[in-house]
Structure 1
Amino acid sequence: MNSPDHQVKTAFFKTLPRPARIRVLELLSHREYSVAETLPDVGIEKTNLSQQLAVLRRAALVTARREGSTVHYSLAGLHVAELPDIARRILSGVLTEQIGLLDDLRDPAHSAVRPQAVDGG
């Protein structure tokens, strides 16, 4: 169960749990950005953003290109751009199921499981 494959996948998923990292991936799915360009959309301090970008770079999710004193970031591949969308689709399905369950709890008439009549025969 603790195969190298599982360890690599676990390390990969550990790079994603910060909202700033997800937001950066969403932004970079549209175009290349410099750190200064991403600051207003990510909403964290420059130092913190640089740290988050470094984590994404070490995980090979983003690449960096220096132009003078400016560093521009882009996604490391097309599949990386799909990550936020895939997560959104998965969560949408989960939440849709939960809403259905909530509706059933609120209105027993909606429930798929209805009590059976007892045959007195």
Structure 2
Amino acid sequence: MAAALYQVKAEFFRMLGHPVRIRVLELLQAGPTPVRELLAEIDIEPSSLSQQLAVLRRAGIVTASREGSTVVYALAGGDVADLLRSARRILTVLLADQGILLAELRAAD
């Protein structure tokens, strides 16, 4: 039973493990965003963005709605934004520690 839960969690993090998906999720934290605006912010082919959005949509992380001919994406819930903020805090600490270590290495030369 627990092994299945760990497998599902690992698959969830693997689904998030793509730079374009992370960037899309970060952009969507500001609110619902039309695909054309996502394309303007992310240097990627439209077909590639569409693929990544489909992965996020199938996982239930984002929702898509139509406004006329425009497709607008939004985060499915606030928990994803919380997760991204937590990741940012963790990375800030890790990178700060690496910066300190790098400074110490440079000083030792």
TM-score range, shorter chain: 0.7 to 0.9
Q: Which amino acid is the alignment partner of residue 19 of structure 2?
A: P
Deviations 1:68-107 (A, max 9, x none): 3322110010111123322211111111112222333344
Q: Which amino acid is the alignment partner of residue 89 of structure 1?
A: R
- Larger Cα Rg: Structure 1 or Structure 2? 1
5+ long unaligned stretches in structure 1: 109-121
1:55 corresponds in structure 2 to 55
Kindly tell me the number of residue pairs found equivalent between the two proteins.
108
Structure possessing the higher relative contact order (Cα contacts under 8 Å, 6 or more residues apart): 2
1:88 aligns with 2:104: no
Q: How does 1:1-121 map to 2 (within 5 A)?
A: 3-107=3-107
Q: Aligned equivalents of 2:46 and 2:2: distance in 1? A: 37
Structure with greater proportional helix content: 2
CA drift of 1:2 comes to 6.8
Deviations 1:48-68 (A, max 9, x none): 111000011111110111233
Q: Which amino acid is the alignment partner of residue 51 of structure 1?
A: Q
* Percent pairwise identity: 55
Over aligned residues, Cα RMSD in angstroms?
1.9
TM superposition score normalised by structure 1: 0.79
5+ long unaligned stretches in structure 2: none
Q: Which amino acid is the alignment partner of residue 31 of structure 2?
A: R
